[in-house]
Every structure is written in C-alpha cells, then in structure tokens.
Chain A
Amino acid sequence: MGYVAIKGGEKAIDGAADALEALRGGGQPSGPDPLSLDAIEHQLRLLTSRIMSEGGLYHPKLAALAIKQMQGDTLEAGFALRAYRSTRPRLLETPPQDTGQMRLIRRISSAFKDIPGGQMLGPTHDYALRLMRFELAEESPEPFRKMAAQFLQNAPTDTLPDSFPKVLDALRKEGLLPPKPAHRNPAFDITRDPLIFPVSRSAALATMARAETGSMLAIAYSNMRGYGDVHPTVAELRVGYLPVMLPHPVTGELTEAGEVLMTECEVIAMYEPDDTDTGKDAAPEFTLGYGACFGHNETKAISMAILDRALQKGMHDGPANASEDPEFVLMHIDGVDSMGFANHYKMPHYVTFQSDMDRLRATRSKHQERGQDQQEVSHESEL
C-alpha cells in the first residue's frame, strides 16, 4: 500500500510567491515600466479613494502602494491597508469635525433647484456619455501633463467662496427636520470594541464608513427596489477637502492638522408618525440618513445614507426587511471579513471532509438496511 509525502508546504508557498511576483512583472522583458505610486494615486484616484475608505486609513500613498502590490485587487488592497492600520496605536480621540468647513470640489442637491451657494457639478461621470474614448489608448504625455494646468488657468478663482452652507441647515431653520441633538454620546470605536447587538448608531455609522462599497450598495439597493421603503431624496451630496481639527498637543486648542478628501451624503426620507421621541403632540418631521467616507466615492456615501435611514427605522420599529436589520447589515458589509472567509474555503479541509464522508457512509448504510427491511416486510405481505 502506498502513502503520500508529508513535506512540501514551505516550498509550495515560496513557489507561489515567486509566480505571483513574475506575473506582476507583466511577463515580458520589453514590457511596460513599473507603475509609479504617483500615477496610481492620481490617475486611478477613485480606486485610491475606495481603498482608503475600505481600509479605514487616510493615506493616499499607502493606498496606492497596496493597489500596486495587490495587482489591482480592491479587496486585497483594502485588506493590506487595514492590516497595516491595525498595528498603529490610537493616539487620541478625534473631536467631531465640521463638514460645513469643507473645501468643496463638488456639491449638489436633488431636493431644491437652487440652494444657498448654488449647485456645483464638479468632477463627475454622472452626465458623461459612457462611450469608449479610443484616443486615450495611445496618449502622448505632453498634452496629458498640461490638462490640469489649463483647467485651473481657465477656472474663475475670485468668485468661489471657501466653503458653502449646508442645505440641511436651511431645512432645520424651517423646522422641517429634527434639531441637532443637544447631547452627543461619545463615539463608538469599532477598532477597539466588538459589536454587541443592539449597537449604537455611532457604531453602525463607523462600520459602514469602512465597509466594502459593493456589499453596501447591494443591501442598500435591495431597500431601494422594494425590500424596504426609505425613498430618499438627496438633500446634499458634497465632495471636498475637510480640514481636520485636532487638539494642539500643548495648548489643547483645536488646530488644523491637515485635510482629508471626503464624500458626504445626507438624504431626507418621508416622515414617520411621531410617537415616543418628542411626545404625542409634536408636529411630524422629515427623517434623515447620513453617509460619509474617505475619498471620492459617491456610490458608497449614498448607499450608506440610505442604510443609515433604514437601520434607524429598524432599530426603532424592529426590522421588517434585511436592510433594516442592524445585525444583518453590519455583519455582512465588511470586505476584509467577507473576502477572507470566502477565500478560506480554499484551504485544506481534509479532516472535516473525512468526517463528512464518515457521516454520509453511515447514513447510507442505515438507509440500505432500512430498504432491505422494508423489502422483506413487503415480501411477507405479498405472501
């Protein structure tokens, strides 16, 4: 009787790493130059955005490196960034930041034709025709490098304010929205505490802010299509650079430490019959959903805002749909968790499968015995 060798794992792993690296090289000696991080960060800026938000770390250079290293796999790149982040200590608790101070590159409202400060379409694919631009296939570097400078030359600088008022503030003034809560609970840090249900809205928002875009879109879309009824109106969607205000190490005074590119979305949903929160006699108000993430990622911010609204409803009334169930939504939107587990099925499962076969063989032999018994019984009755 033969047997198999029990060595070889280490060699196999080394070989796999070499093969992976060879493919990163493009396979041909006359192939293209290695990707520069600068090219990834700027020319694949939406990909970089996505990796930063799913990795939960604002670091465009490291995000670009992760994209390069993982050969463009968004899940792997987000994962690498997250694993790097998890080795860093938490230095301080960030105070709440004021997105009203964002230096905007884009802001729109679908609720009002005109908004204080005006609609500003900015860089978006929304109204671009998705026709292949074949001239990009062979681009000469000269005009390519001049594009940004030319654009800025022609842009009116003097008429643009530094920041824009928030659309929601106007609605709040009219009393159509609930006022901002006077008391703010401390933020829930999902990197330091596990989710134990029921969880706070803060924990839900933090989980969604670094969730995988596609996973969140899928669940939000289920709500949009009818497994739920948020029916959102985008009060405001803004993209821009948020000044990060941190306490000064010496004086404790809030000081601008830098800025981060962010996407923020606020949706308004139809009002709920008011019951417990503000008393029976209070006038009905619109409800809100909030979404925000690192980088420029509008699909994610909108999905998050819709899910925030759906989850608030679920937390209040009990979930009527999957998208309103905090445990269902929050436990299934993390890219690191879900892709890790999907891929773990490729690992050896010899022992468990041996055990599975044992059970199947045992039940089959019982099944056979039972069949024979039944046959005997039926023979007897025929006689």
Chain B
Amino acid sequence: MNPNYKLPAAQDSYSFGFLDEFAKREIRRVILKAISIPGYQTPYASREMPMGRGFGTGGLQLTLAMIGPDDTLKVIDQGSDDSVNAVNLRKFAELTCPGVSTTESTADASLIQTRHRVPETALREDQVLNLQVPYPDPLVIVEPSEARRKVMHGEGDYARLLTKLYEDLVQFDEITISHRYPTRVNGHYVIDPSPIPRYDVPRLHQAKALMLFGAGREKKIYAVPPYTDAEPLVFDDIPFRTENFHTADGKRRPCARCGATDSFLDELNLETGGKAWQCSDTDYCNRQLAAANDREVTP
C-alpha cells in the first residue's frame, strides 16, 4: 500500500438511507416479487449493516430501501418505542435519512419497523409494516437443510410440520409452539410470521396494510400483501389459541398502567415482590391512559 496514504479525517457523507442505490433497487425488486408470490421467501443479497446480524438488519434494509423524505417512521421493539434496540435503529434512520420524521404514534406513521409485535392499533391501507425476522423458514424445526426445505415449500409439503403439531397434542395435550406460529398465506406457502406472539397472528389475516418480512442474515424477504388470507396452521377440531391473560378465576387481567383489557401484556416481576401485567405496546398504553385521564377531567 502507498506509504503516504492517510485515512480521511471524517467519514464522507453516506447516501440517503445508507444503502447505495444499487442495493436499494435490488431490494425494491425483491419486495415486488415477494408481494407477487405471497409467502414465498425471496432470496436477496442482503448487505452488511453497521449493526449486528440478528439485530434487525433485514427489517432495516426493507425500511431504508423504501423510505423517502416525506415518510414518517416508527420503530418498535417488543412493542416499545424506547426499547434499546428500537432507539438504536431509529437513531440510525435519523442519521442517514435527513428530512424523514419519526414518531411514536402508530396512527401517524407511514412506515413501521417492528420486532416481535404487530401494533395493537389496527393498521390502514396507507401504512406498511416491516417485521424483523431471525428465522424466515417455518420448516426449519423439522428440516435443517435449506435445499430440501425449498423443495418442500414448492410442493406445498407441510406434512412434517403438521406431524409435529400432532405429536405435541399426543405428548402435551397442547400445541407447544409459543411464537413464530406457522401461518399459511394465500392458501399455499406456510410462513414463519417472525417471533410475534400468537396473539398477533390473526392481525395478518386480511390486513389492510402491507406486511413485509425481512431476514438479513438468512437473506430472505417475504410478504403478506393487503387483504390476503393468513391462517395459522391448525387442525379442524383443535382451535388456534392465543396467549391467555386470564386469572385463575377466569377474569381478564387489565394493564396495571392504563387499565386496558384488550392488549398483549408483559408480565413484570416487581422489586417489591409480586407481579404486575402491563401493555407491551407503549403507544397503545399511552393512548389508553390519556383517554382515561380525559374521562376523569370531563366526567
């Protein structure tokens, strides 16, 4: 190397959205393909991002490939806007996408990037949800080889997945899959809906918003387009069950903070001992709280 070479004193500016235009174009094309074949895991090159693989690089590449200066971005992790990783990703978007506004309000966002939750507030047609995906393939629990899984998907061969569900019922009287519940999209491909709880799976079905799934490390993008069937894999005589937030005597637990009885709850171990249950979706919780305060002020 040239012995007189000196590193530049500062990083020259990044392109809008960090990714170069070639990378964005590739991702946009792949998104179009993913929408055209609902549930199909479309391979893409997947660039290295400056945060760890597994920290949302797939969802982030979707977001950065789509975002424009007139977008309003919301980033959540575990339902929370202020979770460490959500903060990190949002700061990165602010750094590399000048002009883009960010929000914590689900209703105000045009683009929402999320990890592990679908917002409680119903999404609209003009919104896009980008879900971060660690494992894009629901068949991985029964078949380790990607080459063989690809054939199984093509043939719609989900027999081994159904056998696994059946074996669960024989062994435990319950299906033991807690999150990442296998979901059939548009009657063919079964997807891993990302590690959302079962509580959120029905929200994919005939949703008004476009739902995109990005797996950065595994280099796949797939979609549940708007108004598309998304049905959890179950048996005719065994109903799909979401997480149970009822007390032993059958009462629905309310959120300890806002009192909502229609949201997914985090179970907290309090310093004083004992437990509390609280909304995982912080924007929803804040809204319920504000509404309750309004009711108190104007009875």
Q: Which residues of A come within 8 Å of B, CB atoms?
A: 1-4, 6-10, 12-13, 37, 60-62, 65, 79-80, 82-83, 85-90, 191-198, 258, 327, 331, 336-337, 339-345, 347-352, 354-359, 361-363, 366-367, 370
Contact = CB atoms under 8 A, between A and B. Distances in A.
A349 B134 CA distance: 12
Given A2-B276, A198-B147, A341-B134, A86 B47 contact: yes
Given A86-B47, A348-B78, A363 B176 contact: yes
Interface in B258-276: 264-268, 270, 272, 276
Contact of B87 (A9, A88, A193, A336): A9
B55 A340 contact: yes
A9 B83 contact: yes
Given A62-B7, A348-B84, A351-B116, A362 B282 contact: no
Contact of B145 (A89, A327, A350, A361): A327
B179 A355 contact: yes
A370 B197 contact: no
Interface residues of B, number: 75
Contacts of A192: 26, 45
Given A359-B177, A359-B178, A83 B83 contact: no
B82 A10 contact: yes
Given A1-B256, A340-B53, A362-B174, A351 B217 contact: no
Contacts of A337: 53, 217
A37 B7 contact: yes
Main secondary structure, interface of B, reads loop
Contacts of B195: 349, 351-352
B50 A83 contact: yes
Nearest to B270: A2
Contacts of B5: 61
26 contacts: A3-B276, A4-B270, A9-B83, A13-B87, A79-B52, A83-B49, A86-B49, A192-B26, A194-B46, A327-B146, A341-B52, A343-B55, A344-B53, A347-B77, A348-B84, A351-B116, A351-B280, A352-B178, A352-B180, A354-B265, A354-B280, A355-B199, A355-B243, A359-B177, A362-B174, A367-B173
A351 B179 contact: yes
A12 B84 contact: yes
A358 B55 contact: no
B7 A65 contact: yes
A366 B172 CA distance: 7
A362 B268 contact: no
6 smallest CB-CB distances across A and B, nearest first, come from A344-B54, A340-B53, A340-B52, A355-B178, A194-B43, A366-B173
A64 to B, nearest CB: 9
B136 to A, nearest CB: 12
Given A343-B52, A352-B179, A6 B282 contact: yes
A4 B278 contact: yes
Interface string B85-98: 11110010000000
B147 A363 contact: no
B280 A9 contact: no
A351 B49 contact: no
A87 B14 contact: yes
B18 interface: yes
B147 A197 contact: yes
Nearest to A344: B54
B87 A351 contact: no
B54 A6 contact: no
Given A13-B88, A327-B146, A366-B173, A86 B48 contact: yes
Given A79-B48, A83-B50, A352-B178, A358 B243 contact: yes
Given A87-B18, A352-B195, A13 B174 contact: no
B108 interface: no
Contact of A354 (B1, B243, B272): B243
Contacts of B88: 13
B235 interface: no
B272 A344 contact: no
